Amino acid sequence: MSDAQTVHPSPEAPRTEAVLAPPVEVIEDAAGLTLYADLPGVPKDKLSLHVEGDALTIEGELALDVPEGMEASHAEVNLPRYRRVFTLSKELDAGQVSAEFLQGVLKLRIPKAEHAQPRRIEVQVA
C-alpha cells in the first residue's frame, strides 16, 4: 500500500467472544482499494458487511457441516466467527463499496472519493 495508508485495522474494543481475524490483502490503485478476505467455511447468508461512520466491519459465522451420525475427532478451527474492522480514510467513498463472495473469498472494492481521484489538467497556451 502507498504512503497514504488509506485503510488500516481499527483497534477493537475488548470482546467477551473470541473471534478469528481473517487474513486480508489490501491492494491500492489510482481509483481506490480492493480488499480480499479469506473466509473459508462461511456461507453467504452468514456473512455480514457494514460501514458505520468511518469503520468497515466484516463478520462471518462458520458453518462446518459434519455428516449425521459422525463426530469430529479433531478440528483445526475451534472458533465459530470471523471478525475484522478497518478504519476508512476520508479519501475513500464508503457509500460506493461493492462486494463479491466466491468460494470463501470476499472481494470488496472501495473507490476513492471524487475529490481524491487523480485528474488530468489541460494546460492552455495563452
> CA 70, 71, 72 angle in degrees (round to 5)?
130
pLDDT at 59: 96
Other CB atoms within 10 Å distance of the CB of residue 7: 21
DSSP 21-82: ---EEEEEETTEEEEEEE-TT--GGGEEEEEETTEEEEEEE------TT---S--S----EE
Spell out the residues 6+ positions from residue 13 whose beta carbon is closer than 8 angstroms to its own: none
Q: Which CATH class, in words, describes the domain spanning 7-65+77-112?
A: mainly beta
Instruction: Count Cβ atoms below 10 Å from residue 113 Cβ, excluding itself.
Output: 15
pLDDT tens digit sequence for 37-91: 999 989 999 999 999 989 999 999 988 777 888 887 777 666 789 999 999 999 9
Tens of pLDDT, residues 19-39 = 889 999 999 998 999 999 999
Q: Would you state the pLDDT for residue 3?
A: 38
In this prediction, residue 8 carries a pLDDT of 53
pTM metric for this prediction: 0.72
